[in-house]
Amino acid sequence: MREYVIGVDIGGTKIATGLVSNEGKLKQKVVMPTLSTRGLKVSLEQVYKSIAGLIKVSKVDRKKIKGIGVCAPGPLDPMKGVVHNPPNLFGWHEVPLAALLRKRFSKPTKLENDANAAGMAEVIWGAAKGYKHVVYVTVSTGIGTAVIINGKIFHGKNGMAGEGGHVTIDYNAKNARCNCGNNGCIEALASGPYTVKRLVAQIKKHPGTKTNIMDMVDGELDKITMITIAEAAAEGDSFALETIAEEGKLLGIWLGSMVNVLDPEVIVIGGGVSLIGNVLFKEIRKSMYAHTINIFAKNTPVLPAKLKRDVGIFGAASVLIKR
């Protein structure tokens, strides 16, 4: 019998809610604004509405819906199902979200943070299928990770494990102050915005740099994004390619350290920046293999994530899938 799980992806701007079958098919999707600036009461009501709306519009027998998985920005406690105080959900403070939804919809409910949920979706339906020990990485505005051990998300003591984006590889870094307050976290060296920042700094420092990027943004430096860099690289722009190579090198140094600690069976990399593809991945692999003491690491695959669109919904749903 086909069964379903509801996946709810709560972001600062929008709530994406979807009905996901146990084979990993997205049957129906509803997107609503979070209205997060209007405070807890309003945005929580939006969460309720999005789930109720999805159930209604999908016309699926309620009995076939086995539960509700929710992912939200951290910090949160996945064991207790409590959202601590995410900076982009205004007024949310120690909200027992899993319990509230369980009461409201009378379904098993689980809360998980974004990166952990996305990692679990890769284990269940994506590139890490069949693996037990997985390091999942998402590189986009920030860098998030999930540590999966014996097929389960590893939460640690307080549900805060897996914050690999804040591993420092350059604690002395002069120009890599991270949003977390420390220096040289990989997030502050290799996430999308920081990579753009480094490229812009290079252009400012060497105004004669040979690159098409300036033309692509009509000379307006603040229009440059990772997409600009990726497009320029795809056309063979050597400056863009160097920027991506540097990003890959940094990610590889960091992953070398992660492999030293965790010796995973596979590393899966998702997030917007990973869409750059092989140009980036080949640099990551080369650097990772060069920066680990693990003599077997060259046999550890570094794969692009399979789930791209709606990964938040799939992630949220995946934490409730029985295997």
Residues of this chain that bind a second copy (CB under 8 A): 75, 84, 133, 145, 147, 149, 154-164, 166-172, 180, 182, 184, 253, 256-258, 260-265, 291-296, 300
Peptide bond into 75 cis (omega under 30): yes
Q: Which is nearer to a second copy, 47 or 143 (CB)?
A: 143
Q: Which is nearer to a second copy, 126 or 144 (CB)?
A: 144
Task: Provide, rounded to whole angstroms, the least separation between the CB of residue 261 and a second copy.
Answer: 5
Alpha-carbon distance of 225 to 167, in angstroms, equals: 24
Q: Which is nearer to a second copy, 15 or 146 (CB)?
A: 146
Q: Which is nearer to a second copy, 149 or 201 (CB)?
A: 149
Task: Provide, rounded to whole angstroms, the least separation between the CB of residue 114 and a second copy.
Answer: 15
Task: Provide, rounded to whole angstroms, the least separation between the CB of residue 315 and a second copy.
Answer: 19
Alpha-carbon distance of 20 to 172, in angstroms, equals: 45
Alpha-carbon distance of 148 to 122, in angstroms, equals: 11
Task: Provide, rounded to whole angstroms, the least separation between the CB of residue 216 and a second copy.
Answer: 31
SS (H, E, C) 265-293: CEEEEECHHHHHCHHHHHHHHHHHHHCCC
Q: Which is nearer to a second copy, 37 or 260 (CB)?
A: 260
Task: Provide, rounded to whole angstroms, the least separation between the CB of residue 257 and a second copy.
Answer: 4
Q: Which is nearer to a second copy, 67 or 86 (CB)?
A: 86
Task: Provide, rounded to whole angstroms, the least separation between the CB of residue 10 and a second copy.
Answer: 20
> Which strands, in side-by-side order, build the sheet including 26-33?
26-33, 14-21, 4-10, 65-72, 109-113
Q: What is the residue whose two structure tokens read 């007024």?
A: 91
Q: Among candidates 117, 153, 115, which has minimal Cα distance to 134?
A: 153
Strands 109-113 and 152-153, by their bridges, are unpaired
